[in-house]
Each structure stands twice: as structure tokens, then as C-alpha cells.
Amino acid sequence: MISTEVRTGGQLYSVVIGAGLLATAADAIKANLPPSRCAIVSDTNVAPRFAAPVQKSLSAAGYEPVLITVPAGEQSKTLEKAGTICEEMLRAGLDRRSIVIGLGGGVIGDLSGFVAAIFERGIPHVQIPTTLLAMVDSSIGGKTGVNARAGKNLIGVVHQPTLVIDDVEILKTLPQHELSQGFGEIIKHAIIADAKMFRQLQDADLKKVDFAPLIRRNVEIKAVIIANDELDQKGKRALLNFGHTVGHGIERAVDYQGISNMKVGLSKKDRDAIIDLLQKFQLPTRLPPNFPRSKIFDALRFDKKFERGQIRFVVTPKIGSAHLSPDVTIDDIQAAVEKL
């Protein structure tokens, strides 16, 4: 087992990473939180596969777990669902001393974290992420929330977890498409912060990826970025939005290195290397010909990154570094999207 720490304004928490950690989850939790009632929030794909060992471990250690399962998928990330979970927790006798454990991908992490933040004005949240994306990205940093009809993640709160447990065994059942999504974020981290990891990914044998050290490195990259900008106010955390400003509009389908070419002179060689790496990990690099491009711009208007009409666009001048550019216009984005 390896572990690393995440430090934010007021808090320090551990991320433990290893194989087979579900069966001993309570040991790690007990080192941080005393036995109490706890809600394991999970989804219909994950709970049947992975909830039993977590429940067993918790019960044996003196915790009283109740399992709350929601339908798998983004449609469960709603205010209504968060309310239903809170009501179920109250019915099960949970109180201010209780714990919420999120067992699932980013949807469950965001939803269960939001519930932990609002239940009785805030109780501890333990994240047990089960997708690669959730391990390297969404479980770190404390952003929790649900979707609004107007757009994704528009209702939420920052509530840091008390502990994150990454069991790499879990990744074995993850569909290839979901694994690729996680690699998308890993490649993003490499582009904005770690040229060496970028080269390692270029050379990696996809069938023999050693996940534990890779996850730790990505947790560290995200931890450094959020360390001084927990509430996303100083521009530093915004670097994590590389590829997301337009990407949210088209569900993270493509990357926007075209803008970095135009604005900050990203070389053609680096640009091609990024495209090759995305393709190696089976990530799309083009929009389908008949994709409704105008819808991207409708979605952009609701994006939190458009503050006071200003776009906080992340550009990369070379692989391994990134910064915010003040002079990317909506026309630049339009031109780049046309080319995809």
C-alpha cells in the first residue's frame, strides 16, 4: 500500500492506494474516524460488485453501515436525489456523528460529498472511488455538487473528504470507455504539469499499466494545484480546466490544443504528440461531422468559467506547463471548434 497526503486551507487528508483495500477499508477509516453509523452511498453497477466487502469490514470494526443505492449514471446527480438520500439517512438513524462513504465513480463522489456537506450542516465524507477518473481527479479537492437543469455542477459546495481509499483491484471491472476517460484526465495532468509523465505514457504498454504509482503521481499533481487555491479563486486551480471550457459543452469529447497553437505557440510537434497520446488511449480527437456545433456555445454560456463575461481559458505553450490566457475570444473558440 502506498499513500500520499492532500493539504488544503484548513485540512490535511490521506489518500491510500493499493490492491485489495476494500476488504480492510474499516482499518483505514478507524485511523481517522471513530465507529459510528455510516451511509454507504453507491450506484446500481458498483454496489452489487463492491459494497459487500466494505459493509463486512465496517461491521466487524464496530461501525453500523446502511447501504443507499442510486441508479448508475449522471441522471442521479440531482438536488432531488441528494434530498432523498438525506431523508433515508435520517430514517436509518444517522446523526451529526455519522459518516458518509461514497463508493462509486465521480457521480457518486460528487453526490455523496454534497450529501455529507449538507446533512446536519456537514458530517465527514470518505471517498472510495471506483473509476480511474474518480481516483485521479474527482475524489481529490473537495468539490461536491449536483447538476442543475441549466448545466452540470451548478449547485454545490466545497467539502473536503476525511480520507480517500483507492483500491486498484476495482479497476479490473471498469469498461474500457470509462478507463479511457480516466486516462483523459491523466493526459491532461501530464500536459499541464509533468512532461516526464507525458513521455512515460507515450512509452506505456496499455496492458501492463502499474496503476498505484500512476494514481499517486496524479493525486500529487492535483494536490499541488489545489493546495493554495481550495476555493478556485486565485486562478491556479483553473489550470485543471484545461480542455474543459469547451469540453463540458461537448461532454469532454475533444481537446483544444488548437487554441494553444494559435495563442501561445504550442509547437506542431507537441500538438501532434498530444493527439497521438489521446488516440493511443482511445480518446476522440475530432467531432463527428454532423455534430451540432452551435449547441457547444449554448452550453458555454452557463459555464462557471465565464466569469463576468471573461473567459478564463487554459493554454499550454509546451507539454508540461500551462497558464491562463486573458486573450482567448469566443471567436477563437469558434474557429477551433470548426476545425475539429
| In contact, 269 and 315? CB cutoff 8 Å | no
Indicate the residue among 61 and 67 with the shorter CB distance to ligand NAD: 67
Q: Does 314 bind ligand NAD (CB under 6 A)?
A: no
**Residue 97: CB minimum distance to ligand NAD, A:** 25
Q: Given the rule CB under 6 A, which of 103-111, 114-122, 203-211, 304-312 is the region that contacts ligand NAD?
A: 103-111
Of positions 8, 69, 131, 218, contacts ligand NAD by CB under 6 A: 131
Q: Does 108 bind ligand NAD (CB under 6 A)?
A: yes
Q: Given the rule CB under 6 A, which of 5-13, 120-128, 168-176, 304-312 is the region that contacts ligand NAD?
A: 168-176
- Helix, strand, coil in percent for the chain, rounding step 5: 50, 20, 30
Q: Does 110 bind ligand NAD (CB under 6 A)?
A: yes
Q: Given the rule CB under 6 A, which of 28-36, 98-106, 212-220, 307-315 is the region that contacts ligand NAD?
A: 98-106
Is 41 strand, coil or helix?
strand
CA nearest to 130, candidates 138, 142, 121, 122:
138
Binding footprint of ligand NAD, residue count (CB under 6 A) = 28
CA nearest to 65, candidates 32, 17, 104, 26:
26
Looking at beta carbons, which residue is closest to ligand NAD? 106
**Residue 71: CB minimum distance to ligand NAD, A:** 9
* C-alpha distances in Å from residue 295, one per residue of 148, 168, 239, 250, 290: 17, 37, 24, 8, 12
Of positions 178, 204, 304, 334, contacts ligand NAD by CB under 6 A: 178
Q: Does 220 bind ligand NAD (CB under 6 A)?
A: no
* C-alpha distances in Å from residue 237, one per residue of 1, 152, 228: 28, 18, 8
Q: Does 77 bind ligand NAD (CB under 6 A)?
A: yes
- The whole-angstrom separation of Cα 320 and Cα 303 is 26
- The whole-angstrom separation of Cα 102 and Cα 112 is 5
Q: Does 230 bind ligand NAD (CB under 6 A)?
A: no
Q: Does 173 bind ligand NAD (CB under 6 A)?
A: yes
Indicate the residue among 170 and 266 with the shorter CB distance to ligand NAD: 170
Of positions 104, 124, 184, 243, contacts ligand NAD by CB under 6 A: 104
Residues 17-76 that bind ligand NAD (CB under 6 A): 43, 45-46, 72-74
CA nearest to 292, candidates 245, 253, 240, 265:
253
CA nearest to 41, candidates 157, 130, 152:
130
Which pairing describes strands 99-104 and 125-129: parallel, antiparallel, or unpaired? parallel
Cβ contacts of residue 338 below 8 Å, gap of 6+? Answer: 293
Signed CA dihedral, 25, 27, 28, 32: sign only: positive
**Residue 51: CB minimum distance to ligand NAD, A:** 12
Indicate the residue among 237 and 263 with the shorter CB distance to ligand NAD: 237
- The whole-angstrom separation of Cα 138 and Cα 185 is 10
Q: Torsion over CA of 196, 199, 205 and 211, rounded to 10 degrees? A: 30
Of positions 170, 219, 223, 315, contacts ligand NAD by CB under 6 A: 170
CA nearest to 149, candidates 227, 242, 78:
78
Q: Does 237 bind ligand NAD (CB under 6 A)?
A: no
Indicate the residue among 76 and 332 with the shorter CB distance to ligand NAD: 76
Indicate the residue among 256 and 263 with the shorter CB distance to ligand NAD: 256
Indicate the residue among 94 and 164 with the shorter CB distance to ligand NAD: 164
Q: Which residues bind ligand NAD (CB under 6 A)?
A: 43, 45-46, 72-74, 77, 104-108, 110, 130-131, 133-134, 137-138, 141, 143, 152-153, 170, 173-174, 178, 181
